């Protein structure tokens, strides 16, 4: 009988395998799961050098898997010198402006300061910051203010100068820009915003990326994740990501998707990398953010101060897509044909129609598609679109923490009760048989698998409301969406996502069994640690320390 390096016992083993959902113990050898079974069966694999890990009543699950995230982007987007103005700690628009003034009072000559987290829904009294206000706060420094959904950036006059934006400015594909009263570019959206971000990150240098990347990876590890994704890698940036992942013991597997809004060739080969980091797919943005209004839907936005003033929308707005149907068809077909797994960001139902059309055509024209083809976030997805997606074999990754953070805003100010109730309709999709996944979309919300579970099971918001209880699912279905079904979406199902012999010994240890926990207490389950390929990740780097993850 093969011998075990480690045996985990003394707690509940939740395998996420249909044939054997529960077990008493797990044996691990050479980084892989050797056997799953009763304590006595597993003891049969023990030798004198086997280490026994007593779970002491804790629950052992497959490490959490997040199909849609951006750890490297998060690392670049957050952390000094970016100033965090999120509503979780800076609750009003006036408080944001105060914080900006405090930061500028300490600014050194020549510093470029970036403020991130402006939130039209959660910052009370929010208006789009006029150029004159930005110029008054920072007459001599370049400053940028970016919305929490990352889809819009506002610049002051000095920043136009520093970023070299003048009359010759040309928009990138999928970008939009709005001019200020002075006639010069002011509000940059979608790819135009991200182009500015990249120029800013370049100013800060490579060392900062590497340093803050590991800070951010630690947040995923503390949240119980063992596999996540980097689902919009800038073309050409994969080698940097690969280098930082491989240059130290890796506590978090990352599956990559290159951002291809600009078209052109993917900058890495299809069989690149390994199970620590590999680029397998391509990513397109077909629309923007529900919180900004640049998503394309049949259902109009409500007309009120938040939508008309805070978000600057016209009355009865139904938004728009970021790509034309023709361009979507063209890009989807190109990358699907080349064998890349395609994923497309789409929130509005009209955008989702457009993406499903493109997928249907690509499937018809391509033998042996490398699927599953994916749609990301799916806020306003209709019931008939869920049916159609299932028919086509398309899977959705639902952004459930949206309900947690912005549920009341969706219900009371943006979309109304009915549309909010079926926002991110994961319950419908799962009941109809889709292998859906849930994600936090870091950096938009912090990695937190328990928030995904809690919203899936209760549809309860941070402030306590229950929004769309008919979209609730059972805890087992919810767990699948952050383990085995998320692994399926990342094409990693044969290696991670459940506790079965032959798979990687990637585990999360929880202080309480989520399947027997009071659903209203899921958020307080302690994440005791993760194990990657059989080794406790706490030993890789000091993940226990670090600031409290507010939000």
Partner 1 sequence: MTTIPATIICGFLGAGKSTLLNRVLREPGDERLGVLVNDFGAINIDKDLVKVEANGQVELTNGCVCCSIQDDLASGLVMLARRAPPFTRVILECSGVSHPAGVLGVFDQPAVSAHFHVDGVFCLIDCASFDDLDFQSGELAIDQAAYADVVLLNKADLVGAATVAQVGRTLRGAQPFMRQVTAAHADVPLDVLFGPRPMAPERPMPVDRAGADHGELYSAFAYAWDRPLAVSDFARLSAALPTGVIRAKGILNVADPASGESRRGIFHLVGKRSSLTLQPGPAPAVSQLVMIGRKGAIDEQSLARALVCCPGVRAVTPHRHAHDHQPI
Contacting positions for partner 1 (CB under 8 A): 80, 89-92, 94-95, 98-99, 101-103, 106, 524, 526, 547-548, 550
Give the H or E element holding residue 486.
helix 484-489
User: For residues 507 and 397, what is the distance between their CA atoms, to the nearest angstrom?
Assistant: 22
Neighbours of 380 (CB within 10 A): 28
Of 107 and 171, nearer to partner 1 (C-beta) is: 107
CA 32 to chain centre: 27
* b/e code 391-406 from CB counts within 10 Å (16+ = b): ebebbbbbbbbbbbbb
Q: What pairs with residue 36 in β-bridges?
A: 26
User: For residues 33 and 30, what is the distance between their CA atoms, to the nearest angstrom?
Assistant: 8
Of 7 and 118, nearer to partner 1 (C-beta) is: 118
43 φ/ψ angles, rounded to the nearest 5 degrees: -60, -25
Which two three-digit tokens encode residue 249? 């013991």
Of 43 and 98, nearer to partner 1 (C-beta) is: 98
Eight-class DSSP state of 498: S
CA angle 514, 67, 247 (to 5 degrees): 105
Of 364 and 550, nearer to partner 1 (C-beta) is: 550
DSSP letter for each residue of 3-54 = PPSEEEESSEEE---SS--EESEEEEETTEEEEEE-HHHHHTT--TTPEEEE
Q: How far is the CB of 86 from partner 1 (least distance, A)?
A: 12
Of 337 and 521, nearer to partner 1 (C-beta) is: 521
User: For residues 446 and 452, what is the distance between their CA atoms, to the nearest angstrom?
Assistant: 11
User: For residues 195 and 199, what is the distance between their CA atoms, to the nearest angstrom?
Assistant: 6
Neighbours of 463 (CB within 10 A): 9
Closest among 447, 497, 450 to 478, alpha carbons compared: 450
User: For residues 151 and 108, what is the distance between their CA atoms, to the nearest angstrom?
Assistant: 28
Of 98 and 275, nearer to partner 1 (C-beta) is: 98
User: For residues 350 and 182, what is the distance between their CA atoms, to the nearest angstrom?
Assistant: 35
Neighbours of 30 (CB within 10 A): 11
Of 208 and 491, nearer to partner 1 (C-beta) is: 208
Residues 6 or more apart in contact with residue 236 via CB below 8 angstroms? 267
Q: How far is the CB of 88 from partner 1 (least distance, A)?
A: 9
Of 316 and 524, nearer to partner 1 (C-beta) is: 524
Q: How far is the CB of 406 from partner 1 (least distance, A)?
A: 20
Q: How far is the CB of 364 from partner 1 (least distance, A)?
A: 52
Q: How far is the CB of 107 from partner 1 (least distance, A)?
A: 9
Q: How far is the CB of 148 from partner 1 (least distance, A)?
A: 18
Q: How far is the CB of 14 from partner 1 (least distance, A)?
A: 21
Q: How far is the CB of 548 from partner 1 (least distance, A)?
A: 3
| CA dihedral of 101, 103, 107, 112, whole degrees rounded to 10 | -100
Which two three-digit tokens encode residue 517? 């926990």
Of 103 and 345, nearer to partner 1 (C-beta) is: 103
Of 50 and 92, nearer to partner 1 (C-beta) is: 92
Q: How far is the CB of 93 from partner 1 (least distance, A)?
A: 12
Q: How far is the CB of 90 from partner 1 (least distance, A)?
A: 7
Of 126 and 421, nearer to partner 1 (C-beta) is: 126
Which two three-digit tokens encode residue 305? 């101060």
CA distances from 347 to 82, 322, 335, 344, 380 (A): 28, 11, 21, 10, 6
Which two three-digit tokens encode residue 73? 């982007």
Of 78 and 340, nearer to partner 1 (C-beta) is: 78
Q: How far is the CB of 64 from partner 1 (least distance, A)?
A: 20
User: For residues 178 and 181, what is the distance between their CA atoms, to the nearest angstrom?
Assistant: 10
Q: How far is the CB of 504 from partner 1 (least distance, A)?
A: 30
């Amino acid at each position: 009988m093969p011998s075990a390096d480690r045996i985990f016992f003394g707690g509940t083993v939740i395998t996420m395998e249909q044939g054997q959902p529960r077990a008493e113990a797990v044996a691990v050898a050479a980084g892989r799961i050797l056997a799953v079974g009763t304590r006595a069966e597993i003891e049969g694999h023990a030798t004198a050098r086997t280490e026994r890990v007593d779970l002491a009543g804790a629950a052992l699950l497959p490490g959490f898997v997040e199909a849609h995230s951006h750890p490297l982007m998060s690392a670049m987007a957050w952390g000094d010198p970016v100033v965090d103005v999120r509503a979780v700690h800076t609750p009003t628009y006036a408080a944001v402006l105060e914080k900006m003034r405090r930061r500028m009072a300490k600014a050194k000559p020549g510093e470029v300061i970036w403020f991130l987290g402006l939130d039209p829904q959660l910052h009370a009294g929010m208006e789009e910051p006029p150029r004159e206000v930005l110029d008054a706060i920072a007459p001599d420094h370049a400053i940028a203010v970016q919305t929490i959904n990352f889809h819009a950036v506002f610049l002051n006059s000095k920043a136009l100068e520093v970023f070299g934006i003048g009359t010759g400015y040309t928009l990138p594909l999928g970008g939009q820009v709005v001019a200020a009263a002075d006639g010069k570019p002011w509000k940059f959206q979608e790819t135009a915003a991200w182009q500015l971000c990249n120029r800013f990150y370049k100013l800060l240098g490579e060392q900062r990326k590497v340093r803050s990347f590991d800070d951010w990876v630690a947040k995923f590890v503390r949240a119980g994740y063992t596999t996540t994704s980097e689902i919009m890698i800038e073309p050409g940036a994969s080698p940097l990501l690969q280098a930082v992942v491989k240059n130290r013991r890796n506590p978090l597997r990352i599956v990559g998707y290159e951002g291809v809004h600009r078209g052109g060739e993917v900058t890495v080969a299809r069989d690149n990398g390994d199970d620590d980091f590999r680029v397998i797919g391509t990513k397109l943005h077909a629309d923007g953010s529900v919180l900004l209004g640049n998503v394309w839907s049949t259902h109009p936005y409500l007309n009120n101060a938040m939508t008309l003033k805070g978000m600057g929308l016209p009355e009865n707005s139904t938004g728009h897509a970021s790509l034309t149907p023709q361009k979507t068809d063209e890009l989807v077909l190109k990358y699907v044909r080349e064998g890349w797994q395609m994923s497309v960001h789409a929130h509005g139902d009209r955008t989702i129609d457009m993406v499903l059309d493109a997928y249907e055509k690509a499937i018809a024209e391509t033998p042996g598609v490398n699927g599953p083809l994916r749609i990301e976030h799916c806020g306003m997805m209709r019931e008939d679109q869920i049916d159609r997606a299932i028919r086509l074999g398309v899977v959705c990754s639902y952004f459930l923490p949206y309900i947690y953070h912005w549920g009341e805003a969706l219900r009371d100010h943006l979309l109304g009760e009915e549309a909010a109730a079926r926002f991110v309709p994961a319950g419908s999709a799962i009941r109809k048989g889709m292998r859906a996944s849930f994600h936090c979309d870091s950096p938009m919300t912090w990695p937190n698998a328990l928030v995904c579970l809690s919203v899936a099971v209760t549809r309860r918001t941070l402030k306590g409301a229950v929004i769309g209880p008919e979209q609730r699912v059972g805890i087992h279905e919810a767990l699948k969406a952050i383990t085995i079904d998320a692994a399926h979406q990342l094409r990693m199902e044969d290696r991670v996502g459940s506790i079965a012999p032959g798979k990687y010994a990637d585990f999360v240890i929880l202080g309480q069994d989520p399947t027997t926990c009071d659903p209203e207490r899921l958020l307080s389950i302690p994440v005791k640690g993760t194990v990657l390929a059989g080794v406790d990740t706490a030993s890789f780097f000091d993940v226990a320390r670090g600031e409290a993850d507010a939000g």
